[in-house]
Every structure is written in C-alpha cells, then in structure tokens.
Amino acid sequence: MPTVFGIICLLGIIGNSVVIYTVFKKSKFRCTSSVPDIFIINLSVVDLLFLLGMPFLIHQLLGNGVWHFGETMCTLITALDTNSQFTSTYILTAMSIDRYLATVYPFTSAKYRKPPIAIMVICILWVLSLLSITPVWMYARLISLPGGVLGCGITLPNPESDILLVYLVSILSCLCHTFCSHLFSISENSAKDGIV
C-alpha cells in the first residue's frame, strides 16, 4: 500500500504542478485570470500542500504507525491533511455554484462572476477552512503506542465533551456555508427579477 501512495503522491505533484503552470502560462503569467482559473489554481495548491505532506504519512505507514519527526511536524502534517479535505470541499462547492450561475444565469451573474470577487470568495473559504480545523491544531500530538514508541494522532483530553465541540464546529461550518449559498441565491434571484 505505501508503494501505491508513493505513486499517487508523485503523479499528483507532477499533475498539479502542470495544471498551475498551464493556467499561469495561459494568462501569460499575469494576475488577470478568469474566475474558473482562480478556483482551479487554488484547488491545485490545496492538493499540492497535501501531497507535500504525504511522504511523512507514507513513512508513518511503513513504520507501523511510528512517528519520527517530532510533535510540531505531527501537528503541521495532520493539519495540512485535514485542511486539504475542508478546503477542497469548499472550493469544489464554490466552483459548482459558479458553473451553475454561468450556465443558468449567464447575463445577470456576469457582474458577480469577476476575478476580484472570486479572489475574495477564495480568501473567505481558506479562512473558513482554517477555522474548521481548529480542533486539529489543538489536539494533534504525539501519542504513545504499544512497545514504547510514539505515533502521531489526534488526542482529545475529554473525549466525551470535546467530540461535541468538533461536531458543533462542523455543523456550524455547514450551516454557515448553506446560509451563504442561500443568500447568494436570493441576491441572484432578486437581480434577475430587477429588484436589486
């Protein structure tokens, strides 16, 4: 299994690097990218951040869970792994909304589908993702494994009450995302009807 992960890591780094290079080359290395390009570049950056941490996870897998890189790297790699999951999901959702607006409301959504707005949305999504992984930053640490060795994992000090905090943050993130999507939909419908 580590060999498969290693191949995925190598191909992922090459593939995402090619995507970023191609998008930048298409825009002639200027900051005048289209909205889909902004989303695609950020999605590739998220994947690259995860893939750069993947060799550490492969090493841990090869060592039967033993972590040799210290507590700081444990926290950082675990946070990168979790952050990539949240940020990828948020960006893919934003891309889906963008594609929906471009297809269903091509003229009325044009004023919202501008690169500065896409950059603002991306910044909000990154901040939301970093807030969503707060429990990981707080609880990722070295844990004792059988045989007196150390592994890397998430340890909740009070699992019964702390798991509720994790669920609460996740639910609030979903509600916030749903609320923002709903507000955006309402503003689009209002613009379409000429109310705004």
Q: What is the pLDDT of residues 38-57, one digit of tens each?
A: 999 999 999 999 999 999 98
Task: Tell me which amino acid residue 25 is.
Answer: K
What single DSSP character describes residue 158? Answer: S
pLDDT score for 84: 92
Q: What is the pLDDT of residues 55-80, one digit of tens each?
A: 998 898 888 889 999 999 999 999 99
Q: Which two tokens stand for residue 32?
A: 């005048």
Q: In which band, very low, low, confident or very high, does the pLDDT at 196 lie, cut at 50, 70 and 90?
A: very low
Domain ranges within the chain, ordered by starting residue? 2-193
pLDDT score for 191: 53
CATH code of the region 2-193: 1.20.1070.10
pTM of the model: 0.77
Say if residue 131's pLDDT is above 70.
yes
How far CA 132 is from CA of 66, 86, 89, 142, 169, in Å, comes to 27, 8, 12, 21, 6
